[in-house]
Amino acid sequence: MAHRLSGYLWARLFFILFISTASAENDRDFKFCGTWRHGNNSLSVNADLSPGCKRILISANKTSLSVKGQITAQCTHGPKEIPLKRSEHGSAGQSNFCLYWEPLFDQLVLQVGQEKHTLCWHAGLQGSCCTDLSHSQNGAQDTYGIFSATIKDDVINHKTMTEYSFYGETIDCKNTFCAEVMQGPTQVNMVEETVMKSQAVGNVELPCARSSVVEMKDGFQGYNVTLPAHDGAPPESVPSVHLPGALKIAAKTNSKVVCTFFRNTTLFQDGPNDVTILNDVVGITVENQVITNLIEPVRIGFHHDVIPKTHFLKCVSWDTRKDPLKVNWLEKGCLTQQRGSKHTECLCNHLTYFTILVQLEPQSEPKPVRHLLALTAITSLGCLVSAISCVALIVFLCKKRRLQEQSIPIHMGLAVSLLLLNLLFFFTGILANVGGERLCVWVGAGLHYCLLSSLCWMGIQIFHTFWLVYIVFTPQPKPYIWNLIGFVLPAVPIIVLSAVGNIYGLRKVVPSDDVDNPYLMCWMKSTNEAILAHYFTNMALLAILVSSGAVMLFLVYREIRNRDEWRQNRVAFLSIWGLSCLFGTSWGLTFLDFGPLSEFFLFLSCILNSFQGFLLMLRFWLLGWMRKQSSGSSLGSSSTGSTRQHMLQAQEKN
């Protein structure tokens, strides 16, 4: 007995839970279908509908199919008889039919065979509606009537019945609908789908969101979406959206665009604990289409309170492809532009949900730089002088009488890479202020490529010098090998880092005497990915260059210190080898930015590295001057190739 009672209680508990779960969400549509068994005479549909939510009766006999009762919010239809076409009667004295009811839009449609009859037309989103229709009792069984009735494709009776009665419940449609939307992230798209289905154009109000529907017709050149503020609030409290003309090109057809503004962002707060959504979430979608890679971005303007400078602010979009059950905010595809302390604009090349994330924990501020104005002036002057010097050196190396020497392509490659590096670095501040984040992505990548190319050519220069002194009888590599290493190889990490994203962009350098007015430049960002890339590319290559340059300089010195050329003209050799290795070893000062002499090394590094192009030209001028002063001696040529020949001659004498 106890066992049976326990089983009964568990069954009843399961039934209660099932009922409570089933009633948690109200039906936003109703579909009643069946087979109407009728005679072969003339057939008709009888409709008699009025506002209310009492009962709807669906009945059928030998000649007519009737829909009567109170179910609508504002629709009145009938009593009216609608004749059916004989071609739609079906075969063997029966016809398939379906009755569709959408309470949220107050729309009722009856389809008999292929013939549709709208009994209540679409009336837009309703404040209150009749929903949760459930049948209570069936009519009598007969030869003519409704056979094999179904509700949402579930069979409720296999017999032929004369009528079915349904009772509904009056609810607040909009509030109930929004309650369903707020149950989880996967329900958010219900808003856009419902607004699109409402056939509205213009502004649509819901308790949980506000939408604006825009029609993109022929000749669409763009549109600014604005919504009025609530309760006398300032207009800037509502986000703004600019739809570009390129959106019509991407859509290819005359489509509708729905822009939805979510003020309650609790539904979207599903991410790291150290970030939060600023104020609003804006969803943009095109009817039945997925839009990506726009040639002109969508602009979403967000207005907000003043954000502390220690907090990080960025535009993000919701990537629903990775996991539709989880909110996944991504920065990729959106650019962040500050339009003031209380206005941020997001430029995005695709359509989804957009918002602004704020880093709750204060971000690590860039270290203020002392004497930034003086260092900037020295760098600008050095880059300008070096660029002019590199142009002069390239012209000098292009003279036909020097093109026969094997070291000329290496000198030329170094001069070209330094020219590009100095030009880009000289204009980086101007480009950052004019082009902003979008242009800085390209300029930063180009500047990084020029730096890596210059460092590679410096390494080639050092290795080539070592080759001339130590490797006597082995032929030198062809010039195209040097070009592959100096120009092609540096492009590989740049392409990889660009594909990764969030590496290049706008960089702020903060002066210690004016922290509120940072210097803008195009370079690698301050993100963790960019810092990691900096150490694995720039710092690693610098360490290899400086260490190998120092080792090779020592080996060359040990090789030539006992030769006649070194004893006879030690000052000349010190000038040649010192200036040659200066290009690599000067970067070693970068590692000495600490301790009491940090400022001295900072200025020394700034001077030597920014004037590298000038020092390169000075080296060739010094070699030419010594050639004239010591005609016929071991210094009678301006290249390391000639130096090698004289060293070999001295070695043969010994």
Q: 135-153 pLDDT, tens per residue?
A: 876 778 888 999 999 998 8
Give the integer Cα–Cα distance in Å for 48 and 57.
Answer: 10
Q: What tokens were used for 250?
A: 């991407």
pLDDT of 384 strictly over 70: yes
pLDDT value at residue 500: 87
Average pLDDT over residues 471-497: 83
Q: Is the pLDDT assigned to residue 60 strictly greater than 60?
A: yes
Specify which of 52-61, 176-185, 264-273, 288-297 reaches the highest per-range mean pLDDT: 52-61
The residue ranking higher by pLDDT, 479 or 327, is 479
Burial of 306 per CB tally in 10 Å (0-12, 13-18, 19+)? exposed
Binned at pLDDT 50, 70 and 90, residue 465 comes out as confident
Distance CA 312, CA 360 (A): 8
Which of 370-384, 470-484, 541-555 is the least confident region?
470-484
Give the per-residue pLDDT at 652.
32
Q: What tens digit of pLDDT does each residue of 76-116 get?
A: 887 888 898 866 555 568 889 999 998 888 889 999 988 88
- What structural domains and CATH numbers belong to the chain? 25-175 (2.60.120), 198-359 (2.60.220.50), 372-653 (1.20.1070.10)
pLDDT score of 482: 87
Q: What average pLDDT score do residues 210-225 get? A: 86
Q: Which residue has the tokens 């039934």?
A: 15
- Residue 47: the pLDDT is 93
Q: What is the pTM of this model?
A: 0.52
- Given this model, what pLDDT does residue 197 score? 77
Please state, as a whole number, how many other Cβ atoms lie within 10 Å of the Cβ of residue 465: 23
Q: Which residue has the higher pLDDT, 310 or 414?
A: 414
Q: Would the pLDDT of 73 be above 60?
A: yes
pLDDT at 328: 75
Using DSSP, state whether 449 is helix, strand or coil.
Answer: helix
Looking at the predicted structure, is the pLDDT value of residue 635 above 50? no
Q: What is the pLDDT of residue 650?
A: 37
pLDDT on residue 22: 34
Indicate the range of 227-231, 488-492, 525-529 predicted with least confidence. Answer: 227-231
Q: Which residues of 547-558 are buried (b: 16+ CB within 10 A; e: fewer)?
A: eebeebbeebee
The confidence band for 416, taking pLDDT boundaries of 50, 70 and 90, is: very high
For residue 544, name the pLDDT band (cuts at 50, 70, 90).
Answer: confident
Residue 173 clears pLDDT 90, i.e. is over it: no
Give mean pLDDT, residues 488-507. 90
Q: Which of the pair, 598 or 323, is modelled with greater confidence?
A: 598
Model pLDDT, residue 371:
76
How many other CB atoms sit within 10 Å of the CB of residue 316? 23
Distance separating alpha carbons of residues 517 and 51, to the nearest angstrom: 66
Query: In the prediction, which pLDDT does 24 show?
Result: 38
Q: What pLDDT does residue 67 have?
A: 94
- Dihedral angle of Cα 266, 204, 118, 148, to the nearest 10 degrees: 0
Return d(Cα 580, Cα 383) in angstroms, integer.
19
Q: Which of these ranges, 16-25, 111-120, 247-256, 561-570, has the smallest mean pLDDT? A: 16-25
Residue with tokens 């609810």: 171
